[in-house]
Structure 1
Amino acid sequence: MEYQIILNTPLGPMTACSDGISLTGLRFNADAAAGLSVPDSPDSDNPVFQETRAWLDSYFAGRDPGFTPHLCLRGTDFQKRVWEILLSIPYGQTMTYGEVAALMGNRVSPRAAGGAVGRNPAAIIVPCHRVMGKNGRLTGYAWGLRRKSQLLEMERAGAAPPETGSAPLFSEKRSEKHSVKRS
C-alpha cells in the first residue's frame, strides 16, 4: 500500500509518498508553480510523514535539518549511487554534473550522471537542486530554474524563501493508493 499526503510549503504544495515504513517520494505538485495551496486536512499519524514534515519545517526555516528521513527510493543501482552522492553535498554548497560523474568512476559521463540526477524521486531531501552545470551555471531542474535558484539562495543565506501564498507553512491531505509494488 502507498500513502500520500500533500504538504503546503513556501515554494508551493508538495506530495510526499510512503510505503508506511519509509519515504518513497517527495515532489512539487503541478500547481505549485502557480503558488496555489491545497486545503488543510487532519494530521497523519504516520511517523514517516511526521519525520518528513519535521525535516521540511527545519529546512524552510533556513536551517540544515541535520538528519535525513528514512528513504526507500526506487531506481536502478546507477541512479541510487548518484542519489547517494547527492546526499553527500553539504547544505549551502553545490557540485557540478561533471563532479558527480567523476565520483561515480572513470567511465561515467556528466550527461549520464545528469540523467540520474533528473530522476531523483525525493526533491529537496535528496538535493538535486545543488547540482550545477559546467562552470557553476544554473541548469536543469524538474520543477523550474526559478525554484532551483530560490532553494540555493535560501541555503546560502540561511533564511526561508518568500511565501508564495497565504497558506500555513505545512498542512497535509492524505490519500491511499493500492497497486504499488515494493522493490
Structure 2
Amino acid sequence: MNLANKITIARIALVPLLILFLQPFPEWLVQRYGVFGFIDRYGVYLATLIFITAAATDKLDGYVARTYNQITNLGKLLDPLADKLLIATALIMLVQTDSVQSWVAVVIIGREAVITAIRVMAASKGVVLAADRYGKWKLVLQVAAISGVLVQQFPIMSMNLLPIGSALMVAAVLLTVYSGVRYMFRNYKLLQLSDA
C-alpha cells in the first residue's frame, strides 16, 4: 500500500475519535471516571483539532498521489469515501448535541447519497463522472462551516457571541444544494447518451 492511501486510511481512522470526543456522556459516568471527565471538559477542543487535521490530510494525500505517481483505483475509492464519512459523522454528532439542525444534516448527507448513486449508475455503464469545481468548493465550505460550529462550542463567552459557524453552515447548505442540482443536470445528458 502506497503512502497516499495510508494517509487516506489514517483520515478514516480519525472518524471514531471524532465520535468519542463529541459524544455526550451521562453525568454519573463523567463524575465517576476521570477519563470521561477529561473528555467532557476538553472533548470539543480535541474534536476540532481532529476534524481540521483530518480535513487537511485530504489535500495532502491528493498531493502525494499526484507528485509521486501513486494514483490507484483503491485511492479513487477511499478518498471520496473518507470525505463523506468525515463530514457525515461530524454533522450527525453536532445534531446530537443540538449544535446543528437535523434538516441541515439531511440535506448535506442526502445530496452526497444522491450524487454517489448517480456515479455508481454511470460507472455501471462505463462512464466516469468526475467532481467539478463546485463540488470541491462545497467540500471546503462544509469543512469551514463544521469547524466554525465546533469553535462556537468552546466554553469561552466571546466565542459564543460570534455566529460565524452558523452563517458558514447556511452558505454550505446553499452551495451543497446548488452544486448537487448542477451536477445532476450537467451529467443527465451524458447518462442519456450512454443508454443510446
TM-score by length of 1: 0.29
Q: Higher relative contact order by CA 8 Å / sep ≥ 6: 1 or 2?
A: 1
TM-score by length of structure 2 reads 0.28
Which of the two has greater strand per residue?
1
Larger Rg: 2
The structure with the greater share of residues assigned to helix is 2
